[in-house]
Amino acid sequence: MNRNSRIYVAGHKGMVGSALLRRLASSGYDHVITASRQSLDLLDQRAVMDFFAREHIDVVLLAAAKVGGIHANSTQPASFLYENLVIETNVIHAAFKSHTQKLVFFGSSCIYPKLCPQPIKEDYLLTSALEQTNEAYAISKIAGHKLCEAYNKQYGTRFISVMPTNLYGPNDNYDLQGSHVLAALIRKAHEAKLNGLESLPVWGSGSPRREFLHVDDLASAVLVLLSNDLVEGMFNVGYGKDIAIADLARLICDVVGFSGSLRFDSSKPDGTPRKLLDVSKLAALGWAPTITLREGIASTYADFENDVQRTGLASA
């Protein structure tokens, strides 16, 4: 990839896509292509094929997806499976047909088995059963990765996959019916402080351990991968350390300024006991994260407060 490459960021308005735009702009890439959902429906195969034929794309960053937390995954499995399968199939096939030079497919750490050895290596994929609460989403992302592998094998394409750990940062989703745990806790802590509550509800027991990566660190990892002459492969992208959900909630409360107690709801599912990625493959290429969890939460909360002031997302 060079500074004149025509780079299509699919899903540019989402958390990952917008981070990619920021990173590309700061790194001097001027030929970045985007398309809103209104102008290009990625579920429409003919529209996607026509778009690729018209735009002469060199590099695809496939960050478009239907995403959500445990509640959304548990209650909308058909939507998560169908929409993600169709989006990735349409874009990957169109990239092949239009002779796109490179493609990066964005998966998720939830593709790995529920009871994986820790830290999780890329080789652990498909070695045992998945976590039931997000199985549909995981299967769709496994299929996307395998589709990249299949096109590489059959047609000689140069498509790679990245499997990020739990992400957070600007443009996250704070809707409590569809958000991931860190964004949900930021909103809950903010509203608890605003309303003078004595306690903060936390889903599950608080014992599961999760790894969190600021989305800007993911964007930097993608540029490292693209700067290397990679033909194929799957790469974990993570921070290298995990934290118990209970400790995460306490850290968020400290950053937000909520001094009440935590109230754990053990009737809600915990999900996978632990997810910590082995990032040695990516580290060998020279990448390392730079944003600490506390720093990242603080900047994310500031972004959330700006959203509240602009849209009235949360109020007393």
14 annotated ligand-binding residue: yes
285 SS3 class: coil
141 annotated ligand-binding residue: yes
State the Rg of the chain over Cα: 19
Cβ-proximal residues to 247 (8 Å cutoff; 6+ apart), any chain: none
165 annotated ligand-binding residue: yes
Query: Could you say which DSSP state residue 277 is in?
Result: B
Neighbours of 178 (CB within 10 A): 18
CA distance 138 to 135: 5
Name the token pair of 224: 């490292």
107 annotated ligand-binding residue: no
Integer angstrom CA distances of residue 165 from 57, 159, 188: 28, 20, 22
164 annotated ligand-binding residue: yes
Q: Please work out, in degrees rounded to the nearest 5, the angle formed at the alpha carbon of residue 174 by the alpha carbons of 168 and 180.
A: 50
15 annotated ligand-binding residue: yes
Which active-site residues does the annotation give?
A: 137
102 annotated ligand-binding residue: no
Q: Which amino acid is at 256?
A: V
1 annotated ligand-binding residue: no
287 annotated ligand-binding residue: no
166 annotated ligand-binding residue: yes
Say if residues 157 and 278 touch (Cβ distance below 8 Å): no
188 annotated ligand-binding residue: yes
Using alpha carbons, select from 102, 135, 107, 138 the residue that is nearest to residue 234: 107
Using alpha carbons, select from 40, 30, 88, 41 the residue that is nearest to residue 63: 88
241 annotated ligand-binding residue: no
Peptide bond into 289 cis (omega under 30): no
190 annotated ligand-binding residue: no
167 annotated ligand-binding residue: yes
234 annotated ligand-binding residue: no
Distance of alpha carbon 29 from the chain centroid: 22
Using alpha carbons, select from 135, 154, 166 the residue that is nearest to residue 92: 154
| Residues annotated within a binding site | 11-17, 141, 164-167, 180, 188, 203, 210, 270
| Residues annotated within a binding site for substrate | 188, 203, 210, 270
| Residues annotated within a binding site for NADP(+) | 11-17, 141, 164-167, 180
